[in-house]
C-alpha cells in the first residue's frame, strides 16, 4: 500500500514539473516584446560567439554548436537574413562554402536583446530576493547532481545487462 502511495506521489511530482516547464515555454517573451523568436535569438548569439572564437561562422559550425541539422540551421539563418540581421558571404577560395555574418542591424538587435534578457533576469531575481535566489540555485544544482547520478547509474546498469 505504501509503495502505491509513493508511486502516485512520484507521478504527481513528475506532472507538476512537466506542467511548470510547459508554463515557462509558453511565456515567449521574446516574441511578445521584441518581435523575434527564441530560436532566432539563440542563432544570433551562436553566430556572434562562433565568429568571436573562430574568426568566421559557417552553417556547419553553427548547426554543430546548436545540435541541429544543417537544413534547420539554414532555415533559421534564412529567416534572419530576410529580417536583415544576418548575411551570407561566399568564400572566395571555395565557392561551395559561405560565411555567416551579423549585419549592423543584427549587431544592434543582438545588443538590445541581451540587454533586455539581462534586465528581465535582474528584475526577476530582485523580486525573489537574495535568500530565495540562493535557495533556487542551490536546489537547481542539487537537482542536476541527482539527475546526473541517476542517469549514470541507469547507463551503467544497461551496460551490465548487455554484458550478461
Q: At what angle do helices 104-128 and 38-54 cross, to 10 degrees?
A: 110
d(CA 80, CA 35): 12
Helix (H) or strand (E) holding 55: none
State the total domains in the chain: 2
Residue in the block written with cell 515567449: 28
| pLDDT of 162 | 85
| pLDDT of 2 | 44
**Residues 41 and 118 placed together within one structural domain of the fold:** yes
What would the grid cell of residue 150 be?
Answer: 541517476
Residue in the block written with cell 516547464: 21
Residue in the block written with cell 561566399: 90
**Residues 121 and 133 placed together within one structural domain of the fold:** no
pLDDT in tens, 12-67: 887 888 888 888 777 766 666 677 888 899 999 999 999 999 999 999 999 999 99
d(CA 28, CA 38): 7
**Residues 81 and 105 placed together within one structural domain of the fold:** yes
User: Other C-beta atoms within 10 Å of 62: how many?
Assistant: 21
**Residues 133 and 116 placed together within one structural domain of the fold:** no
Residue in the block written with cell 549585419: 103
**Residues 153 and 123 placed together within one structural domain of the fold:** no
d(CA 89, CA 98): 5
Q: CA dihedral in degrees (47, 52, 54, 60; nearest 10)?
A: 0
Q: Are residues 117 and 45 in contact, defined by beta-carbon separation less than 8 angstroms?
A: no
pLDDT in tens, 109-159: 999 999 988 998 899 999 999 999 999 999 999 999 999 999 999 999 998
Domain membership of residue 61 (yes or no) is yes
Confidence band of 3 (pLDDT split at 50, 70, 90): very low
Backbone angles phi, psi at 89, to 5 degrees: -125, 130
Q: Looking at residue 108, which CATH number applies to its domain?
A: 1.10.10.10
Domain with 140 in it: 129-164
d(CA 116, CA 29): 10
Does 7 score more than 80 pLDDT? Answer: no
pLDDT in tens, 70-92: 999 999 999 999 999 999 998 88
Confidence band of 95 (pLDDT split at 50, 70, 90): confident
Domain membership of residue 10 (yes or no) is no
**Residues 122 and 136 placed together within one structural domain of the fold:** no
| pLDDT of 62 | 95
Amino acid at each position: 500500500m505504501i509503495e502505491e502511495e509513493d508511486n502516485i506521489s512520484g507521478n504527481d511530482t513528475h506532472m507538476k514539473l512537466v506542467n511548470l516547464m510547459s508554463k515557462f515555454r509558453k511565456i515567449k517573451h521574446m516574441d511578445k516584446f521584441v518581435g523575434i523568436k527564441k530560436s532566432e535569438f539563440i542563432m544570433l548569439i551562436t553566430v556572434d560567439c562562433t565568429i568571436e572564437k573562430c574568426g568566421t561562422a559557417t552553417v556547419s559550425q553553427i548547426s554543430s554548436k546548436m545540435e541541429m541539422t544543417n537544413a534547420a540551421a539554414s532555415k533559421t539563418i534564412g529567416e534572419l537574413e530576410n529580417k536583415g540581421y544576418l548575411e551570407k558571404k561566399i568564400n572566395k577560395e571555395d565557392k561551395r562554402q559561405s560565411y555567416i555574418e551579423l549585419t549592423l542591424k543584427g549587431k544592434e538587435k543582438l545588443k538590445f536583446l541581451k540587454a533586455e534578457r539581462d534586465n528581465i533576469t535582474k528584475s526577476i531575481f530582485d523580486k525573489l530576493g537574495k535568500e530565495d535566489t540562493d535557495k533556487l540555485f542551490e536546489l537547481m544544482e542539487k537537482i542536476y547532481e541527482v539527475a546526473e547520478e541517476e542517469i549514470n547509474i541507469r547507463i551503467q546498469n544497461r551496460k551490465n545487462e548487455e554484458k550478461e
